[in-house]
Structure 1
């Protein structure tokens, strides 16, 4: 999002007149202007840097707003979706403050994107093609078939999807759903499927489900094995604890935010294996392009030749996307991504309409071709120039600092860093080729953050000296350096209130300047937790049971292996059989050398114990809906052999309780 990243570039703007107008006690100003959440106002330096951006981009261009509103059938300005327990899953009116000119506390380019993402409702894209936008992070598209609706990407949650389908039925009639298309394996594009079917009064057994090859494995595996860490980091990436205010979360760049409710999935009836594959779905002709390995490990785009309409799925978005996502995921291939876009441009050259899984459509071949070219060249440029600089020995940090898109790719808004950024995407390219090590032996085996912080603080003359230097740097607007200084101090002295307070104020400023929605949320969530403490809420995984029921049992045993407390397990050796009585499936677990192995096989007759359990009950345990202690003595699980060994085995599971610390030790 930012070419270098506006936050990085901002430091180069140091305006002498401005700095001289800001006295050296800038770090002490504005404290009385904190809001009810403790957030501080934008400094004069932040306000100046944000205003300067207004001169650099064509804010007078309103074409995006025209296209975002085109075809509006109806909207609901009071759209609030609640769960069965009364919890708020989606609250569109909470973003009503996003109107008019950008406040000093929001980057004006991100504010513009937030205003566009506020435009919501049911839209007619072309005859027989509709979109529901603003009901969740992603769009739900509806294509009219001969016997019902072909629904594309049924949102994140059952609750938001049901409300979206109900809204469409109010204005388009009570059609059933004849087919579902999952364009790719990210949860905001399939999680709401069961709610959509229920709202449309459609039997899942009667619905054709089309997905890319590998969809089931990819859609579930990421969320199971890497889930605990990714979920915690997603709190930062999406600003989950932040208020929806001009000093809090305003937009993710890709949409407002993910819905947080009940999720599910359906097994596909048809898989898209290759580019050029065609299907006739409820009387509508589809031509598919397999783009797996671009934005998602399993993904397709498609073309409707009779309507000359191209659905870019999430291969294309009205922003620069992530080659690496801040919540943590496998690095994406920039070169392949660019190539897929070029392939789509050639395959679907006759398209007069572009629509996708996020944002608003484009009409007209010339505008579509220009959009595709800019998107393709953005990823290719970042890829090629990152490698060029790496060839010369530049490290990832140096490349991220220096790399900037050329003027030809900075003329509009469609590839701005609202979600991904040139800065962290270049690091993703480097990581993809060279890994985490930058080649400098000083970075091969550094001290951990807490020990490193203690040494830095001592070397700089103690905490008072570090704090003094940080205040001076804050007054000068060198917020990145302040973050470095005070991060060391907070890790060295976690109870230093002055350091934490100033670091939080500093993160406010970095967040306010960020053009990237996720960067803003990361900084502001860090500030929030420095003030309020980290969240100890544990995600209720039971809402995902309708999805993980399809996960191979091996995924859960992989999680058990990853959660094994190696120290406590030292010297422990045992074999356990897990027999799933309703699946006719047995897994043998072997613990030795503080390592847990598992395989699907016949039961080991010499095992310490054999546990017989239903798959459903096993999921309840895995998802925290039932405790192991309760099951051991409930009679719902039969055990042959040593119950003591079974209890010992489960006691070795080192499950995280609440969110781990990020900005403090």
Structure 2
């Protein structure tokens, strides 16, 4: 969403045009953004507001002053995302997979010469792969990649094929010494997943990731490499995060979704439960069913029988789920139904390892 302030002849591009290449797919995980529409909305912003603006600014970056300057800037940003999109699809239709397209992807000289198109935050490499992913998904069509072993299984087999853990570590060091840090990291990663306690494997992996990090123009790549290197020597240290401030902004459906994705399906396979929730503050009812290991919930106008009928407000629901108790909440039926469902949930693990098993 872009904002135009006509009284000030000022155009706010939010995060849609900043002084770097943005992320089409964040490394932290998200849905892939549409590069084609991104470009089209920038073209629309130029058409609707650019010629009536004296300044363009974004949420995190410095402004661009002067009508001609900001139109030139936005034009290059527009062309940046369109070029990534169209050239990825062109090569996709020639049979190249995402990694192949990304490996030799060249930007037009005029765009490459503009500092604000460079990958300080996003990168050409992972944005090209994101565009491929948006259209074709993770499978590249090669059946050898259809059912690969997970990291520990693959690591053990690679190490065995190379001739054992010592040989695998030695080969990884050779590639690192030759400057092929990418393959050194890949090979050392297999060694670590095959033998997590092997000091030599961990040392080679940490060194390769550190050197890759300091050599990265892209800040998000640098951060990922360096955090990975630090994890090799010990478990990650999660930041304390509280969702309390966000919970009140969630819809009732989203609140129930947050419970549903924590249900341990195998533990819940043989358990059934039904709850009808009635929210007096919004005069809405929801039916919840635990069935086949999944927690189903939906708005309802019916009064079908249920194990438990709960009458409350949304704020009381948030308090109930956070452990504040059930004061003021009316329950008709088996009150243990809620605790039975909660007992089948898992707690998220904020400190799970990534570069080690």
Q: TM over 0.5, yes or no?
A: yes
Q: Distance in 1 between matches of 2:132 and 2:275?
A: 43
Q: Does 1:346 align with 2:38?
A: no
Displacement after TM superposition at 1:363 (Å): 1.5
Partner SS state of residue 214, structure 2:
helix
Inter-partner Cα distance in structure 2 for 1:308 and 1:646? 56
> CA offset at residue 358 of structure 1?
2.0
C-alpha contact 1:504 1:530 (8 A) present in aligned 2: yes
User: Could you tell me which residue of structure 2 aligns to residue 314 of structure 1?
Assistant: 15
- Name the structure 2 match of 1:427: 129
The within-5 A match list for 1:28-427 is 299=1, 301-347=2-48, 348-427=50-129
1:584 corresponding residue in structure 2: 283
Q: Kindly state the Cα deviation for residue 434 of structure 1 after the two structures are TM-superposed.
A: 1.3
Structure 1: how far apart are the matches of 2:88 and 2:57? 30
Tell me the CA shift for residue 581 of structure 1. 4.3
User: What secondary structure is seen at the aligned counterpart in 2 of 1:482?
Assistant: helix
Alignment of 1:481-496 (within 5 A): 481-496=183-198
Local SS of the residue matching 1:532: coil
Do the aligned partners of 2:11 and 2:56 also contact (CA within 8 Å) in 1?
A: yes
Uncovered stretches (5+) of structure 1, i.e. residues with no partner: 1-298
Name whichever structure is richer in helix by fraction. 2
**C-alpha distance in 2, partners of 1:327/1:392?**
30
1:268 match: none
User: 2:217: which partner in 1?
Assistant: 515
Gaps of 5+ in 2: none
Inter-CA distance 494–611: structure 2 relative to 1 (3 Å threshold):
farther
Kept in 1, the 8 Å contact 2:36–2:81? The answer is yes
Q: 2:146 matched to which residue of 1? A: 444
SS at 1:349 equivalent:
helix
Runs of 4 or more, structure 1, over 6 Å off, are none
Structure 1 Cα separation of the partners of residues 340 and 14 of structure 2: 48
CA deviation string 1:394-453 (max 9, x = no partner)? 000111111121212111211110111110111111112112211111111111111111
Relative to structure 1, the CA distance from residue 344 to residue 645 in structure 2 (aligned partners, 3 Å threshold; closer, same or farther) is closer
Size of the aligned set, in residue pairs, is 356
CA displacement 1:309-332 (0-9 Å, x = unmatched): 222222210111111111111111
| Higher RCO, Cα 8 Å, sep 6+ | 1
Q: Give the one of 143, 158, 168 matched to 1:466.
A: 168
Q: How has the CA–CA distance of structure 1 residues 638 and 504 changed in structure 2, closer, same or farther, with 3 Å as cutoff?
A: farther
- TM-score w.r.t. the length of structure 1 is 0.51
1:127 is matched with: none
The answer on whether the counterparts of 1:537 and 1:659 sit within 8 Å (CA) in structure 2 is: no
Offset at residue 466 of structure 1 (A): 0.7
When residues 618 and 535 of structure 1 are mapped into structure 2, their CA distance, relative to the original with a 3 A threshold, is farther
Counterparts in 2 of 1:423 and 1:559: CA distance versus 1, 3 Å: same
Mapped to 2, the partners of 1:576 and 1:518 lie a distance apart of 44
Distance 1:654 1:378, change over 3 A: same
| Distance (whole Å) between structure 1 residues aligned to residue 7 and residue 270 of structure 2 | 67
Return closer, same or farther for 1:344/1:605 CA change in 2, 3 Å cut-off. Answer: closer
Measure the CA separation in 1 of the matches of 2:158 and 2:303. Answer: 55
Q: TM-score, normalised by structure 2?
A: 0.93
**Among 298, 311, 319, the residue aligned to 1:599:** 298
Q: Is contact 1:454–1:489 with CA below 8 Å preserved after alignment?
A: yes
Distance in 1 (CA, whole Å) between partners of 2:159 and 2:356 is 15
- Of 349, 353, 357, the residue aligned with 1:661 is 353
| Native 8 Å contact 1:587 1:603 kept in 2 | no
